Amino acid sequence: MKIETDFGKYVTLFFTQYLVGERGVSPHTLRSYSDTFNLFYDFMSLVRSVPAHKVRLKDVTHQTIKDFLFWLEKEKNNLVSTRNIRLAAIKSFSCFMQYYDTMHVAQWQSILAIKQKKIDRDVFSYLTTDGMALLLSQIPTDTRDGRRHLAILAFLYDSGARASELVNLKPSDIIFEIPAHAILFGKGRKRRIVPLQGKLCAIVKKYMEDWDLDPADTSNRPLFMNKNGRKLTTAGLAYIISLYASPARVLRPDLIPGRLSPHSFRHSKAMHLLQSGVNIIYVRDILGHVSMKTTEIYARADSKQKREALENAYQDLIPKASTDGVWESDQELKKWLRSLGR
């Protein structure tokens, strides 16, 4: 039994038999897991000087995984939340290997013992209403691509959709008849309806005309596409944001955070709804939160923001006290992983 020399073989079994065959994970989860293993192969190659096709099971130790996670944070600038997602994928593989590699159960259990890092749930990146208006104003509307980008980012903000929900939309999920709304499918394929405002409807209608998209089309054709007419990916969505965040940041660095992601648009929508006086229960329903505790994070952040504003106002008036005193090549392996879930 040559388990210890064939890591690639068991990665293949993990994806094809376990994730797809037994667990039936979503395409989004499959992409996330495949990205994790691609990054792990990059780490092994760049840091440990072990090419992908030569990685062995015995190389995947408790310390190796801890070093990999450290590399993700320090060299790849991953957030703690992203680091935890990568660890979850590795742990899932370790659970799988406990049954296939029974001679080395302790090795896999030691990886399972690695703890997730605690996330400060009250700290997140979002734009003020002025910041969001500035970013969206950078998008040209006199070109077909510009109108496509505006439709994508305006919908991402106004609907409060998750990135995965947006890229999986179909034309038939948009209902323009009053009351206009969109049908989103969230985590666990849970269906929810979000209202669409008049301005957004006009933007999306124009985009659909540009790309010959019919709201009555019930095929699997995606609503939002890249410039080549293929389904937009979450990475493509992040790229579109970066195109307009950079020039907006040059104009007003105080309004545009240094790190913006698709989820920042969702955070922004939640904050703006609460600041406008919308009932927190409605905010929960629009965002599709299962637990009210998740929505309350935004309420706490809003309260903190108000408190800091008051403190700053007082600081301007009150003087401070004195302080004197089986794989054939790396490319084949990585190409196969990238294709999963796409």
- Would the pLDDT of 94 be above 70? yes
Fold (CATH) for 129-261: hpI Integrase; Chain A (1.10.443)
The dihedral through the CA atoms of 212, 215, 220, 225 has a sign that is positive
Domain at 3-119: CATH code:
1.10.150
The mean pLDDT of the chain is: 83
Residue 14: partners with Cβ closer than 8 Å, 6 or more residues away? 92, 93, 96, 97
Alpha carbons 69 and 78: distance in angstroms, whole number: 9
Alpha carbons 265 and 17: distance in angstroms, whole number: 36
Confidence grade of residue 219 (pLDDT, cut at 50, 70, 90): confident
User: Residues 12-34: pLDDT tens digits?
Assistant: 999 998 998 888 888 878 888 99
Task: Give me the phi and psi of 304, to 5 degrees please.
Answer: -65, -40
Alpha carbons 87 and 62: distance in angstroms, whole number: 12
Domain boundaries, the chain: 3-119, 129-261
User: Residues 141-200: pLDDT tens digits?
Assistant: 999 999 999 999 999 998 888 898 999 999 999 999 988 998 888 776 778 888 888 899
Q: Which of the listed ranges 22-36, 51-65, 286-300 does the model predict with the highest average pLDDT? A: 51-65
- Would the pLDDT of 322 be above 70? no
